Structure 1
Amino acid sequence: MEIILIPGLWLDADSWSDVIPTIEAAGHRTHALTMPGVGATAAESADIGIQDWVDAVVAEIDRVDAPVVVVGHSGGGNVAWAAAEARPDRVARVVFVDTVAPPEGGQISEFDVVDGVIPFPGWDFFDDDDVADLDAETRARTAPAAKSVPARVPTDPIALGEGRRHTVPVTLLSGGMDDATFRQVITQWGPYADEFASIQDAEVVRLGTGHWPQFSKPAELGQAIVAAAR
């Protein structure tokens, strides 16, 4: 299977480096992406929005010219879901890594803009549960590799369209929740609950990690992606 790997905010293709060997050892081909404008100056990235990220993934789907599994980590899940809407006949499965399928108009989040871009805020910015499994060595190694993202990307509403994506099977790799717990919790999430309920074939798998398993447990994440790409 051809597997497209979409990083979340502040990450690039190299963030998947420790995950890829496990996936490829199982016989799959990987396509790790760096999204447009990541690490660029404000002058270079001011016009780049979330749709440009979606277009980059759709272009990769078309370039591969074979059925694909699209994996999206964190905010990359929004991008993966919009790409599935654009190419539902080509996407065999969407794998969300510690994120959920957004509804029409959903946004990633809001962060401080500095010098026209959004820099990585540092590991201390995040909730304890998200970073508890990132030890000091991992934080020191990964933080310098984080890059700014275009200012528009996190707050641009995602455009999803007609709902063709709902026919695409979904695996949600949750850091902390098992299937039953997730299905109970998401009922309180308004339009996100409605979006999840519209998916015809969805499973939730608990990873037992924080929000960045590609750094804390890359082999386990790779194994979970392989299991989803069946």
Structure 2
Amino acid sequence: MNTTKSPIVLIAGHWLGAWAWDEVLEHLAAGNARATALTLPGLDPEDSARTARTLDEQAAAITDVVTRLGEPVTLVAHSGANFPVSLVLDRHPQLIHRMVWADSGPVGPGSVFLPGFPEDAAELPLPAFGDLGQQASLDGLSDEVLGRFRNRAVPEPGPVLRQPLELENDARRQVPTTLVCCSIPGAQMMELARSGHPMFAETAELTDVEILDLPTGHWPMWSRPRDLAEVIAATAS
């Protein structure tokens, strides 16, 4: 019997495709959840136009998947997937039953992921882990997982990193939301949001939000896949 109220769509952050959710999908399937993962335009290594893909194309791809499911979905966004997903929330809030941010959160109007990223840079490869670990916690990731990350990572398209977000629909802030806080505790994140920190300010504008702490690093789909799946399934039911 299907135990979830809405279908689940999973979108991973930068450098990652649908494969990043494999373990989470296994746990969701074991609980009879209806779940699918999406590789965003620009992150398919077989795409010959990969480096030209834009946030608009990514948002359109998400919208297509959600629309085909035929009912509002529980949309799960990890890390840098917050940019295209914020566009979807702005343009089609009625398609989202519940928004789940996995160590991520909504983005405000005018935001650019990497201000100053050179116009002549086609893409951003996965950094060395020593550098990446300065930006996002690698806690809970084994050498095997890091090796898979390195081998399967796809460079992030330049246009995605440079494009400013155009948001105008306040209804995006009224979609019921769950914040799954991993590398930063929820209480600390909300304190930053209320203080106007640019990375979290949009979170303070949400009208219906629950905060769940799942302490681990920035990639909970690998460090705590079963626990993350349980959280996602609970939000969808």
User: TM > 0.5 between the two?
Assistant: yes
Residues 144-183 of structure 1: pairs in structure 2 closer than 5 A: 144-183=151-190
Once the two structures are overlaid, the 10-residue window that deviates more, 10-19 or 185-194, is: 185-194
- The structure-2 alpha-carbon separation of the partners of 1:179 and 1:117, relative to structure 1 and needing over 3 Å to count, comes to closer
- The structure-2 alpha-carbon separation of the partners of 1:114 and 1:222, relative to structure 1 and needing over 3 Å to count, comes to farther
Q: Paired residue for 2:21?
A: 16
SS in 1 for 2:42: coil
| Letter in structure 1 aligned against 2:156 | V
1:207 aligns with 2:214: yes
Once the two structures are overlaid, the 10-residue window that deviates more, 132-141 or 11-20, is: 132-141
Contact 1:41 1:116 in 2 (8 A): no
1:140: Cα distance to partner? 1.6
Question: Could you report, residue by residue, the CA deviation over 1:44-79 in whole angstroms, capped at 9, with x for unpaired residues?
Answer: 234321111111101111111112011111011222
Q: Paired residue for 1:118?
A: 124
TM-score (norm 1): 0.89
1:175: Cα distance to partner? 0.8
CA distance in 2, matches of 1:16, 1:93: 19
- The structure-2 alpha-carbon separation of the partners of 1:42 and 1:109, relative to structure 1 and needing over 3 Å to count, comes to farther
SS in 2 for 1:89: helix
Residues 71-86 of structure 1: pairs in structure 2 closer than 5 A: 71-86=76-91
- The structure-2 alpha-carbon separation of the partners of 1:16 and 1:191, relative to structure 1 and needing over 3 Å to count, comes to same
Q: Paired residue for 1:30?
A: 35
Once the two structures are overlaid, the 10-residue window that deviates more, 212-221 or 34-43, is: 34-43
Q: Paired residue for 1:132?
A: 139
Q: Which one of the candidate residues 53, 60, 65 is aligned to 2:65?
A: 60
Q: Paired residue for 1:228?
A: 235
1:218: Cα distance to partner? 1.1
Tell me how large the CA RMSD over aligned residues is: 2.4
| Letter in structure 2 aligned against 1:147 | V
CA distance in 2, matches of 1:219, 1:50: 30
1:190: Cα distance to partner? 3.9
| Letter in structure 2 aligned against 1:215 | W
SS in 2 for 1:35: coil
SS in 2 for 1:23: helix
Q: Which one of the candidate residues 222, 225, 228 is aligned to 1:218?
A: 225
Q: Which one of the candidate residues 103, 106, 109 is aligned to 2:108?
A: 103
Alignment identity in percent? 27
Contact 1:45 1:150 in 2 (8 A): yes
Contact 1:182 1:204 in 2 (8 A): no
| Letter in structure 1 aligned against 2:221 | Q
Contact 1:39 1:149 in 2 (8 A): no
Contact 1:116 1:151 in 2 (8 A): yes
- The structure-2 alpha-carbon separation of the partners of 1:192 and 1:135, relative to structure 1 and needing over 3 Å to count, comes to closer
| Letter in structure 2 aligned against 1:9 | H
1:222: Cα distance to partner? 0.9
1:112: Cα distance to partner? 7.8
CA distance in 2, matches of 1:43, 1:222: 33
1:154: Cα distance to partner? 1.9
Question: Could you report, residue by residue, the CA deviation over 1:151-200 in whole angstroms, capped at 9, with x for unpaired residues?
Answer: 11122122222211111011111113443332212223445554222211
CA distance in 1, matches of 2:12, 2:118: 20
- The structure-2 alpha-carbon separation of the partners of 1:73 and 1:193, relative to structure 1 and needing over 3 Å to count, comes to closer
Aligned length: 230
TM-score (norm 2): 0.87
| Letter in structure 2 aligned against 1:185 | L
Contact 1:42 1:117 in 2 (8 A): no
- The structure-2 alpha-carbon separation of the partners of 1:218 and 1:109, relative to structure 1 and needing over 3 Å to count, comes to farther
